[in-house]
Structure 1
Amino acid sequence: MTDVSGLSQLGKNVEQPQSPEQAILEKVPSGNQGTDFVVRFTAPEFTSLCPMTGQPDFAHIVIDYIPDAFLVESKSLKLYLHSFRNHGAFHEDCTIEIAKTLVALLQPKWLRIGAYWYPRGGIPIDVFWQTGEAPAGVWLPDQGVQPYRGRG
């Protein structure tokens, strides 16, 4: 069984963090270290704020990673992602901040993020980033998010 004794949020009633800086991302040891496998998190209702207007921005975010020694604890990731609801930043900055924060925490073998932002000003913005090439032989499914087509 995975040791969860050091976790501060799992199984507890915790306040929603008001910013990514206040959020506490936690990790647990991987019970399958030495085996390459992909973990996928999908956040289809991600929200943040435009830093210029304060208006809400919406995205469908897909995070894939190949763990090494650690897994991200999913409740802490949920709270971290929700903390962007009051955070003003451009689409690109939110996306890269999430990815780099996870890489710093987990030191995964590989990580990619696809952030499919809904149109603002009539233009959808999609942001993609990954740490490098994925290890050979790992099945990497398509992220499954269709390009924005509007009413066409």
Structure 2
Amino acid sequence: MKKKKPSSGGYTDLHAKCGITTSLPELETWPNQFSGYEITIEIPEYTAICPKTQLPDFGTITLHYMPNKACVELKSLKVYIHAYRNIGIFYENAVNRILEDLVKACKPKWAIVTGVFTARGGLSSTIKAMYPK
């Protein structure tokens, strides 16, 4: 008797990869003048689209990092985060993508990006990605 493969709920590889390579505005930086301090930026109005249901997702994204030679410029961060509004992307992918883009832009000593997403269907999610891994 063959074992039945578990259902993935109709999710495809296309759903899973959605939004990962979408073009987004560039994160700009400015030269850091000090060392040994931490920056925490809270973004309480994150929105994106679920790639499967096309329903909006809402959450708070928190960036916490120790700058090295550059700091992320806040206006460019705001424009970058607001660009997610029209992208189909899963929570997990968004948090990891934000971390990758932050690290690429300002090369911090370390960074943590946390996404706390509002409840949907009685479930809420918190996703945390860290650099270095």
TM-score w.r.t. structure 2 length?
A: 0.80
1:91-144 Cα deviation digits (max 9, x unpaired): 1001110011101111100100111011122211110111149xxxxxxxxxxx
What is the one-letter code of the residue matched to 1:107? K
Q: Is the 8 A contact 2:25 2:79 kept in 1?
A: yes
- How do residues 93-132 of structure 1 correspond to structure 2 at under 5 angstroms? 93-132=93-132
Structure 1 unaligned regions, length at least 5: 1-18, 134-152
1:125 partner SS: strand
What is the one-letter code of the residue matched to 1:78? K
Q: Does 1:22 align with 2:11?
A: no
What is the one-letter code of the residue matched to 1:90? F
Which position in structure 1 is the counterpart of 2:41? 41
In proportion to residue count, which structure has more strand?
2
Which position in structure 2 is the counterpart of 1:72? 72
Between the aligned partners of 2:76 and 2:100, the Cα distance in structure 1 is 16
What is the one-letter code of the residue matched to 2:23? E
2:52 partner SS: coil
Between the aligned partners of 2:70 and 2:22, the Cα distance in structure 1 is 21
Q: Is the 8 A contact 1:49 1:55 kept in 2?
A: yes
Between the aligned partners of 2:59 and 2:22, the Cα distance in structure 1 is 16
* Residue identity (%): 33
How many equivalent residue pairs? 113
Instruction: Give 1:20 shift.
Output: 5.9
Q: Is the 8 A contact 2:99 2:131 kept in 1?
A: no
In proportion to residue count, which structure has more helix?
2
TM-score w.r.t. structure 1 length?
A: 0.70
What is the one-letter code of the residue matched to 1:126? T
Could you list the structure 1 runs, at least 4 aligned residues long, displaced by more than 6 angstroms after superposition.
none
Q: Is the 8 A contact 1:20 1:80 kept in 2?
A: no
Cα distance change on mapping 1:106 and 1:48 into 2, 3 Å: same
2:105 partner SS: helix
